Copies of this chain bind each other. A is one copy, B any other.
Amino acid sequence: MYRTHNCGQLSESDIDKKVILSGWVQKTRDKGFVVWVDLRDRYGITQLVFDEDRTSSELLARARELGREFVVQIEGKVIERASRNPNIPTGNIEVLVEELTVLNPSKTPPFTIENETDGGGDLRMRYRYLDIRRNPVKNKLIFRSKVTMEVRKYLSDQEFIEVETPYLIKSTPEGARDFVVPSRMNEGQFYALPQSPQTFKQLLMVGGLDKYFQIVKCFRDEDLRADRQPEFTQIDCEMAFVEQEDVLDAFEGLTRHLLKEINGIEVEKFPRMTYDEAMGRYGSDKPDIRFGMEFGELNAVAQHKNFNVFNTAELVVGIAVPGAASYSRKEIDALVDWVKRPQVGAKGMVYVKCNEDGSYKSSVDKFYDQNDLAKWAEATGAKNGDLILVLSGSAGETRTQLSALRMEMARRLELRKPDEFAPLWVTDFPLLELDEETGRYHAMHHPFTSPKPGQLELLETDPGAVRANAYDLVLNGNEIGGGSIRIHDREVQSTMLRHLGFTPEEARAQFGFLMDAFEYGAPPHGGIAFGLDRLVAILGGQETIRDFIAFPKNNNGRDVMIDAPAPIDKEQLEELGLKLEVKKV
């Protein structure tokens, strides 16, 4: 037996007990006559003591030899600690060691196994198994496990059934790029790894399972933007005989349960906002509503003066940054530079300082008098002491730019509090979005999303205006879930695919099984999928997902620890009927 207790367990009530502990040497302190060793495991740290009075010199000598991260087993007696440490649960005791066994020595680790480590990101990824020993990483993995368990408990209690759908499925060119898997038994043919179990969960509804969920890996072969992974995890859900309201209710319940059980926070009914409203008020379909700075449209009050930049703009829009009227000229110039960066792309920025005395000072005083500016303040809700920041240009771009500026100002003003949670439903998304490059319409959510009742005909005349039974759950400015009421009628699905540019043959080849299924009694159905990695990160008060994933890949899709992907044997390729044909660069 390697241990009678773990390293986070012993307390005063165990004093005088004989115990066996195993763990890692966190550190040793040698005071000459006494050696203390901090023994660490997942559960905590227990202080071991070896001293001249009570420990044999041979044992004391061996204790002195212990290096960082050695794995040791000890036997000893729990004693009261002279100088107590109130910061850890075991801080009132220590263990006087009687026997010491080194189970495995350790080379000096390439970085310190401490909450604050000296290891850089790359080094920590290469030795991920050492990084996981650090509390910040370990605790995030434990946190993730706790969240998924709560998700499962809640949904099971609501009679959802977890069903595993297949990983070896069929490639569909719609959407992102698939990872494919050559089939040896069906030479020249390929499986694809699922980008989501979408069609399977719809078939489960056709199959009468009524309420389905699954926590499942999904795969997308995309060029990786920061904080994206080629494999990611979804909480995938679907319900039959539901309207949008039923789905929102069910998953508002789940999210409220998580906020309560995981974060100890009770949230009232989640606010809702249409896509159009969210774009108008925040310039974003995933607004962070933990803070204000709502958009004030200024066309009516800022145009038709002599300022041509505004007169020629489709949209003039501003936000009031609370308490920022005191910004110096230098600080404001820096903001102008920030919005002009290529990542944001604004051409310039106009500001108005709303002074404490009620007067205004702006960068466009030449064109606007105090009365004009008072109207800007009214439109943006600016109060004395606030700073109004105004962008202009084409409506879409300007909203996106001002949304980025709004988030940046919130960051600088520390308004994005990690322990505050503001969920929001965004509804009535457009069904289609225009790809500017190809001039083709794409499904904004996916091709199985139903248009709003009565809007099917609009597809023919004004496709961009069709609204969908689609909704996103937004938490603190992040989309954590998205879903829709699906099409369950073969004709509607055919029409939809035709509008997305599928020939009848392509539609048949790729989605024939689903459209066939719709002819055998498909019930109305809809669902949602949550991005688990992101959800867990946000509940954990973090911005990045990487440390909530045990073994993440880097931005080139590589696992640098195991060094994958890697070349494979010629024989393996031959068995698969494949030949490498590396492209010339």
A-to-B contact residues, CB < 8 Å = 1-3, 6, 22, 24, 40-43, 69-71, 103-107, 109, 127-133, 138, 141-142, 144-145, 148-149, 152-153, 156, 161-171, 173, 177-193, 199-200, 203-204, 206-211, 217, 219, 221, 223-224, 230-231, 233, 241-243, 245-246, 488-489, 513, 517-524, 549-551, 553, 556-559, 561-569, 572, 574-583
Contacts and interface: CB of A to CB of B under 8 A. Distances in A.
Contact of A200 (B217, B246, B550): B550
Contacts of A557: 168, 183, 185-186
Given A208-B42, A578-B580, A520 B162 contact: no
Contacts of A581: 574, 577-579
Copies in the complex: 2
B2 A129 contact: no
A578 B182 CA distance: 11
B71 A556 contact: no
A276 B108 CA distance: 44
Given A104-B489, A145-B163, A163-B145, A568 B24 contact: no
A521 B488 CA distance: 56
Contacts of A562: 169-170, 199, 513
Given A71-B522, A164-B217, A564 B207 contact: no
Given A190-B565, A208-B133, A566-B189, A166 B580 contact: no
A69 B208 CA distance: 11
B185 A24 contact: no
Contacts of A521: 24, 69-71, 104-106, 109
A106 B182 CA distance: 37
Contacts of A41: 208, 210, 241
A224 B184 CA distance: 12
Contact of A141 (B43, B161, B188, B551): B161
Contacts of A162: 145, 148-149
Given A141-B209, A180-B568, A565-B189, A520 B109 contact: yes
A217 to B, nearest CB: 5
A103 B168 contact: no
9 contacts: A1-B246, A104-B489, A130-B520, A181-B181, A186-B558, A187-B582, A574-B583, A579-B579, A579-B581
Contact of A221 (B1, B109, B153, B184): B184
B204 A550 contact: yes
A431 to B, nearest CB: 21
Nearest to A20: B241
B578 A578 contact: yes
A75 to B, nearest CB: 14
B209 A132 contact: yes
A156 B166 contact: no
Nearest to A216: B217
Given A210-B43, A519-B107, A167 B170 contact: no
A132 B206 CA distance: 9
B513 A2 contact: no
A563 B190 CA distance: 11
Contacts of A551: 165-166, 200, 203
Nearest to A25: B521
Given A162-B148, A556-B185, A22 B167 contact: no
B582 A188 contact: yes
A166 to B, nearest CB: 5
Nearest to A205: B129
B524 A2 contact: yes
